[in-house]
Copies of this chain bind each other. A is one copy, B any other.
Amino acid sequence: VSSTESAPRAFGESGRRDTRQRRLLREHLAESEAFVSAQQLHDEVRATGDKVGLATVYRTLQAMTEAGEVDVIRSDEGEALYRNCGLTVEVDGPAVESWARDAAEEHGFTEVTHVVELFGRCSSCSQH
């Protein structure tokens, strides 16, 4: 009989192996409050003298995104911007939904749909 056990990991699920590059990217991402693009992150790391390939930055960010360790948004120019943590919580908003409908109909709109997004620092990240 064979089984696939997974031990707890100190560095998340974004990659199985703990490499120098991933440590660097994790550190830089943790330090910066703001959203950064892959290229910016690449520049930041190299600015400190460390060397990481751009492709690795993209691959790592993609993995971290899939693992839910980072948050992604799109800039108006279509660039992907990443931020540490990525904790997402569903919030129910009956209040907002009725507000949205009323506000839209007030201006003569029908077939209304809405998007509400909240951004903030989670309690865990605030402790750092």
Contacts and interface: CB of A to CB of B under 8 A. Distances in A.
B91 A103 contact: yes
A23 interface: no
A27 interface: no
**From DSSP, what is the main secondary structure of chain A's interface residues?**
mixed
Number of identical monomers bound together in the oligomeric complex: 2
Contacts of A104: 91, 118, 120
Interface in A95-116: 95-96, 99-100, 103-104, 106-116
A78 interface: yes
A65 to B, nearest CB: 11
20 contacts: A74-B75, A74-B76, A78-B78, A78-B79, A78-B80, A91-B103, A91-B106, A93-B99, A95-B95, A95-B99, A96-B96, A96-B116, A99-B99, A100-B116, A108-B122, A109-B118, A112-B118, A112-B120, A113-B119, A116-B117
